[in-house]
């Protein structure tokens, strides 16, 4: 899950297609129209129950992969509620993952075989989402060797636990892998080969059945990055830098750029292993996550560089010769424009949303302010061949009203899915209609940061409380103009104006 998730003020904020201004994008590259485009939904494989998004924390490993029956039920639920699987031009798909180092080769081979069984049985395309480095608690043979674990300084002080920013309070995970350790690289090529050869066997079954469109692709990573140490918050990567010949006495000219190159090479290594095993580069995608320059410039980041804030994965790192680029695409101001710019720079036609849904993470109101149709249009109308939607069914019946679920499974979203899968043109809201949607989230961000400090200093809860209630009511009523006026009033109060 994306590192920017903050579970507060997340309320439904869905604009209907009748209340926004729209345009259809005429600039979609014709080359991507010649292949199947996939609308995919992530189904989690971190435990026997696919409704559980993750089950590992600290050194607790992921548990067994789901069996065929719960997966079939999950697919049928998606299939029945959307009502169509599309055709060879636009196809409904599911992405199974994470496939991690906590799973054995035998477990993964058996699971991939089951996945292709389900594709042929349900007529829904399947793909696979690899956890490239995060969950490896079971691999003591690897992490017990300090050479395979990242360091937080030039002295080689090892990371004991990696920080995951998936909620308001960070959680621990197994230590950060050293991406250029020889043992790690051997294991990556072995694992990529095992996954790739198993997928190739499934592809051969699809070819015999004349159903090649039932394979959506493989995402070779899960927000690949060099993360931070959980206990200290320190940025990592020094073990890999030392492996490249650098030291405290002889540091690289650009510490950030050097670590970006390390991440880039690790993504390329996974892609090479998959391609060498028989998977077409056109079916392999990376998965990185970044904060746009626009949002970064508006935040108070102190001395942290843009590269550090993004854990050494600016958008350019997602590109490579043996795979297509893929990004997390939870909407944020400037995100899609930055993706489009990088695509143009790299002369890249096809790409993927490797993770996302129409919800703006950590930005106060929570939602992107655009309808699901516009959200899909911002990808499919701009060359995306795979869009992977997260959160369908997470938590089961007990969590059906959570904001993630409402955004992903609501009527407006289902209508947009059906339109895409039936081949209808996706309409995209004009930029002018979303101006307030870019102004409001930074204001909410600032209130969340500054208001608690102001209250602690002034004790004027009686003045701030009614305004916060008014702000919350306006957001829930989808009255963005009123919400912005109230936000401005709160900021004036804080500033003493």
**pLDDT 10s digits, 320-371:** 999 999 999 999 889 999 999 999 999 998 999 999 999 876 543 334 567 8
- Domain assignment present for residue 17? The answer is no
Q: Is the dihedral of CA 246, 248, 249, 251 positive or negative?
A: positive
Indicate whether 338 and 452 sit together in one domain. Answer: no
Q: Is residue 231 part of a domain?
A: yes
Contacts of 402 (CB under 8 A, 6+ apart): 394, 395
DSSP 149-211: B-BSSTT-PBPSSEEE-SSSS-EEESPPB-TT-HHHHHHHHHHHHHHHHHHHHHHHHHHHTT-
For residue range 408-437, list pLDDT tens digits in order.
999 999 999 999 999 999 998 765 445 666
Pair 397, 448 in one domain? no
Task: Give the CATH number, domain containing residue 312.
Answer: 3.20.20.80
Token digits of residue 462: 């009686």
Residue 1 lies in a domain: no
Is residue 54's pLDDT more than 80? no
311 in the same domain as 422:
yes
* Cα–Cα distance, 493 to 63 (Å, whole number): 50
Domain boundary among 387, 408, 429: 429
Residue 3 lies in a domain: no
Q: Who's near 374: CB < 8 A, 6+ residues apart?
A: 20, 22, 426, 427, 428, 429
Same domain? 378 vs 439: no
Residue 207 lies in a domain: yes
Quick one: 325 and 437 in the same domain? Answer: no
484 in the same domain as 350: no
Strand (E) or helix (H) holding 126: strand 125-130
- Whether residues 361 and 493 fall in one domain: no
Specify whether the CB–CB gap between 429 and 472 falls below 8 A: no
**Domain interval for residue 391:** 22-429
- Mode of pairing for the β-strands spanning 384-389 and 326-328: unpaired
The pTM is what?
0.83
Contact 216, 386 (CB under 8 A): yes
DSSP 10-56: -------TTSS-EEE-S---GGGGGS-EEEEEEEE-SSSSTT-S---
What domain count does the chain have? 2
Residues 203 and 263 in one domain: yes
Q: Do 269 and 287 fall into the same domain?
A: yes
* pLDDT for residue 13: 33
**Considering 429, 448, 474, which residue would you say is the last residue of a domain?**
429
Distance CA(195)–CA(209), nearest Å, equals 21
Residues 262, 380 within the same domain: yes
Last residue of a domain, one of 399, 429, 459: 429
Q: Are 351 and 3 in contact (CB under 8 A)?
A: no
**What does the alpha-carbon distance between residue 381 and residue 25 come to, in Å, rounded to a whole number?**
6
Higher-confidence position of 434 and 267 = 267
12, part of any domain: no
Structure confidence at residue 32 (pLDDT) = 46
Q: Are both 423 and 441 inside the same structural domain? A: no
Does a structural domain hold residue 420? Answer: yes
Cβ 91 vs Cβ 37: under 8 Å: yes
My answer on whether 201 and 338 are in the same domain is: yes
Q: How confident is the model over 70-98, as pLDDT tens digits? A: 999 999 999 999 999 999 999 999 999 99
Residue 384 falls inside a structural domain: yes
């Amino acid at each position: 899950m994306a590192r920017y998730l903050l579970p507060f003020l997340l309320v439904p904020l869905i604009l209907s297609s009748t209340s926004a201004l729209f345009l259809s994008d005429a600039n979609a590259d014709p080359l991507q129209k010649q292949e199947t485009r996939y609308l995919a939904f992530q189904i989690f494989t971190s435990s026997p129950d696919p409704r559980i998004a993750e089950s590992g924390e600290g050194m607790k490993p992921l548990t067994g992969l789901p069996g065929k029956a719960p997966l079939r039920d999950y697919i049928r639920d998606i299939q029945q509620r959307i009502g169509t699987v599309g055709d060879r031009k636009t196809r409904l798909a599911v992405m199974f993952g994470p496939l991690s180092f906590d799973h054995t080769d035998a477990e993964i081979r058996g699971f991939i075989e089951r996945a292709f069984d389900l594709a042929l049985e349900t007529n829904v395309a399947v793909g696979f989402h690899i956890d490239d480095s995060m969950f490896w608690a079971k691999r003591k043979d690897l992490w017990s060797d300090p050479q395979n674990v990242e360091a937080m300084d030039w002295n080689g002080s090892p990371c004991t636990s990696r920080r995951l920013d998936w909620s308001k309070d960070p959680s621990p995970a197994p230590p950060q892998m050293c991406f250029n350790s020889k043992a790690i690289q051997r294991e990556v090529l072995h694992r990529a080969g095992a996954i790739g050869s198993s997928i190739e066997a499934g592809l051969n079954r699809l070819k015999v059945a004349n159903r090649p469109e039932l394979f959506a692709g493989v995402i070779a990573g899960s927000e690949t990055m060099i993360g931070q140490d959980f206990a200290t918050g320190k940025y990592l990567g020094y073990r890999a830098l030392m492996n490249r010949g650098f030291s405290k006495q002889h540091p690289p000219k650009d510490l950030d750029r050097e670590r970006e190159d390390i991440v880039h090479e690790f993504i390329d290594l996974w892609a090479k292993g998959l391609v060498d095993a028989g998977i077409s580069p056109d079916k392999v995608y990376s998965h990185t996550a970044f904060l746009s320059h626009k949002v970064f410039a508006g935040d108070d980041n102190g001395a942290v560089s843009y590269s550090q804030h993004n854990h050494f994965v600016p958008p350019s790192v997602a590109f490579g010769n043996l795979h297509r680029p893929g990004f997390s695409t939870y909407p944020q101001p400037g995100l899609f424009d930055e993706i489009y710019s990088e695509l143009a720079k790299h002369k890249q036609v096809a790409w993927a949303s490797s993770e996302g849904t129409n919800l703006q993470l950590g930005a106060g109101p929570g939602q992107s302010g655009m309808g699901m149709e516009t959200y899909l249009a911002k990808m499919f109308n701009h060359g995306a061949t795979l869009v992977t939607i997260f959160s369908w069914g997470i938590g089961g019946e007990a969590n059906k009203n959570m904001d993630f679920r409402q955004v992903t499974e609501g009527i407006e979203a289902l209508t947009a899915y059906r339109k895409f899968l039936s081949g209808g043109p996706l309409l995209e809201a004009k930029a002018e209609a979303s101006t307030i949607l870019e102004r409001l989230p930074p204001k909410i961000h600032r209130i969340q940061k500054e208001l608690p400090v102001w209250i602690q200093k002034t004790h004027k809860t009686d003045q701030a409380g009614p305004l916060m209630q008014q702000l919350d009511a306006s957001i829930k009523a989808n009255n963005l103009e009123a919400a912005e006026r109230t936000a401005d009033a709160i900021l004036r109060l804080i500033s003493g104006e």
